[in-house]
Amino acid sequence: MKPTLLILSFSPIAGDARVLKQVDAFSNEYTVTTCGYGPAPHGVAGHVQIPDDILHNVLDDRYVTRKAYRRAYWRLWSVEWAKKHLRPRSWDLVLANDVEAVPLALRLKPRKGVHADLHEYSPLLHEDWEGWRERITPYVDWVCSTYVSRASSWTTVSRGLSREYERNFGFHAELVTNAAPYLDVSPTPVGDTIRLVHSGAALQDRRLHDLITAVTASSAPVTLDMYLTPNQPAYLAQLREAAAASGGRVRVNDPVPYSLLAETLCRFDVGIHVLAPTNFNNTWALPNKLFDYVQARLGIIVGPTPEMAEYVRRFGLGPVTDDFDPQSLTRVLDALTAADVRAWKAAADRAAPELSAQAQVEIWRAAIARLVAVN
């Protein structure tokens, strides 16, 4: 009989690239149930769907003010709902995605343990928001020290995040990057106009307007397409307005489903992610889009974000800007040549097997297998 595994994530799992890789990794060897928002992902034996009107992470200000952190957590609407609909001792293992899923996972008392996959350094998730460090960081610190440190094993998305979790809470999280599944394609030809692309969330702390400013100011024959999810609708509207004033050089497009993202990106030449260090997680980001660009066989332009820059330089994928100002990106764009872009795309083609998800999901498989074997 296969071991039973619950993959718990307070996200729309069918559109969550990292969680979908977990589902794919375990659905053959384990009887997998998922719990999260939205419809069931393909390949699972069961799915517990949290209703869309049960909002997640809406903290009761009264409890946070009084530092009644235990009550604050267990009174979260999503946690209360999931606690009522998930029966303890029903699974051998729980794979809990992100800090807020771990306390519930432990309460479910899986027979062989809880693995915590931490997608961000949650105590400083929105440290650039007013009041976050004073009010929310102590609450999340409490969740990490009280619950997350009691998991059986841990993974996270970058070395910088792993170091910070170990420094503050004493557990070591292995690195599982946000690598994308291997895509068997070849680099597309580079034409007279170099086609730039950025995909991701419309969040103001990412300073996406600087990309528009840099492209609009460039003297090079470049265009930029942005595929953005409407995380902050007002900011997305600002980006659309700025793109409309770019003289046709920038287009803000609706997002595409993750299942269609790879074939969409393949139509372009260079992926851009110049991510200003506006908070701790941005500073140490190693995001899925970097690996999506590699699988689409694109050149890549990044800012001097340490872990992204390391990959781009090590594999010869493209240039790293001097700093995070739009003027630095404009200088890089002005120096672009078609020959450079062809070379970067060829480097991405060579690196694609090594930087694919296959090697990374083996780290999850090994962690879960150790729990099965030990217990």
- Mapped onto helix, strand or coil, the DSSP state of residue 59 is coil
For the purposes of burial, counting CB atoms within 10 Å of the CB of 191, is it exposed (0-12), middle (13-18) or buried (19 or more)?
exposed
Distance CA 338, CA 333 (A): 11
Distance CA 42, CA 259 (A): 12
Closest CA to 299 of 320, 328, 329, 322: 320
Largest CA distance in the chain: 63
Record the pTM. Answer: 0.92
Check: CB of residue 9 under 8 Å from CB of residue 40: no
What the chain holds in terms of domains, given with CATH numbers, is 4-176+357-374 (3.40.50.2000), 194-351 (3.40.50.2000)
Distance CA 201, CA 17 (A): 13
For residue 220, give every residue at least 6 positions away whose Cβ sits within 8 Å of its Cβ, in sequence order, or none.
194, 333, 334, 335, 336
Backbone Cα Rg of the chain: 21
In single-letter form, the type of residue at position 120 comes to E
For the purposes of burial, counting CB atoms within 10 Å of the CB of 247, is it exposed (0-12), middle (13-18) or buried (19 or more)?
exposed
pLDDT at 363: 97
- Mapped onto helix, strand or coil, the DSSP state of residue 34 is strand
Distance of CA 153 to the CA centre of its chain: 20
Averages of pLDDT over runs of 10 residues in the chain (375 residues) are: 96 93 96 98 97 95 97 98 98 98 98 98 95 97 98 98 98 97 96 97 96 98 97 97 97 91 96 96 96 98 98 98 98 97 98 94 97 86
pLDDT at 29: 96
pLDDT at 375: 64
For the purposes of burial, counting CB atoms within 10 Å of the CB of 257, is it exposed (0-12), middle (13-18) or buried (19 or more)?
exposed
Inter-axis angle of helices 306-315 and 338-351, to 10 degrees?
100
